[in-house]
Amino acid sequence: MKHKRVRILSKKIFNEKYVELLLENRFDTVPEPGQFIHILTGGAFMRRPISIAECSQKKVKILFQIKGPGTKKLSEFSTGKEIDILGPLGNSFPSVEKHQKVYLVAGGIGIAPLLFTADKLVQSGNNLKLLYGARTKNELLDFLLPEGRYKKIISTDDGSIGKKANVVEILKNEIFIEKPDIVFAAGPFAMLKNLGLLCNEYNIDAYVSLENIMFCGLGVCQGCVVETTNGYQKVCKDGPVFDNRIIKWK
């Protein structure tokens, strides 16, 4: 069953608004990068979908930003508490052939699913580059990135750390230097839209992880749809990862 109660094994809070929870891994299936869990927080009426940021046989790490009453409540839970979750849910980033040049592009808390993705891709011998941007220094969790496992470019909109540029501008520069075989991205909608249009312009395969207000998380309520060339598709079940080419960016 996807419905579980799992214990919080540890909690870390970064820069007052980012939370990392380590949970017991009691899933029936092995989570794939891009998948999420749907958590009953008690702070808001609906569950909250949170990306899986790391996974081992016994532990699952989630990373989220405190945005409203649901995530606030979740951030207040202490180690040892059991939480009610559904998961793992949704699809995942596609697997890629060895030696392909993969660019991962993360905006803000979009880093969460890409940490997991990067981990998996490195293990399977891919040539990775992570472009990670945020608005400002205290919204960038660069200290969570592993040392030396893959290339990284850090940027902030205000230049308070890393290059002073938007992460999509960084990607554009990189495309001029060396065109990637494939791009995986997660972040705010506006960033993903710009990235999606850029990748279409340069004819680069790209997969984007979308966020949406989500009720069931299981594909039954059809509340979280996004418009695609195949009609309305559910972010929770057909996604959250979509082939950029099918999204009708609005």
Give contact residues for other proteins (rule: CB under 8 A): 1-3, 28, 40, 44-47, 84, 86, 212-216, 218-227, 231-232
Q: Which is nearer to other proteins, 205 or 223 (CB)?
A: 223
Q: Which is nearer to other proteins, 161 or 225 (CB)?
A: 225
Q: What are phi and psi of 52, to 5 degrees?
A: -85, 125
Place of tokens 């052939």: 97
Torsion sign over Cα 171, 174, 176, 180: negative
d(Cα 25, Cα 227) in Å, to the nearest integer?
Answer: 34
- Kindly state the smallest distance separating residue 56's Cβ from other proteins, in Å: 23
Q: Which is nearer to other proteins, 76 or 142 (CB)?
A: 76
Is 180 in contact with 199 (CB distance < 8 Å)?
no
- Kindly state the smallest distance separating residue 187's Cβ from other proteins, in Å: 18
Q: Which is nearer to other proteins, 9 or 225 (CB)?
A: 225
Is 98 in contact with 124 (CB distance < 8 Å)?
yes
- Kindly state the smallest distance separating residue 230's Cβ from other proteins, in Å: 11
Nearest to 19 by CA among 51, 62, 55: 62
- Kindly state the smallest distance separating residue 96's Cβ from other proteins, in Å: 28
- Kindly state the smallest distance separating residue 57's Cβ from other proteins, in Å: 21
Q: Which is nearer to other proteins, 220 or 246 (CB)?
A: 220
Q: Write b or e for each residue in 81-107: b if 16 or more Cβ atoms lie within 10 A of its Cβ, otherwise e.
A: eebebbbbbbbbbeebeeeebbbbbbb
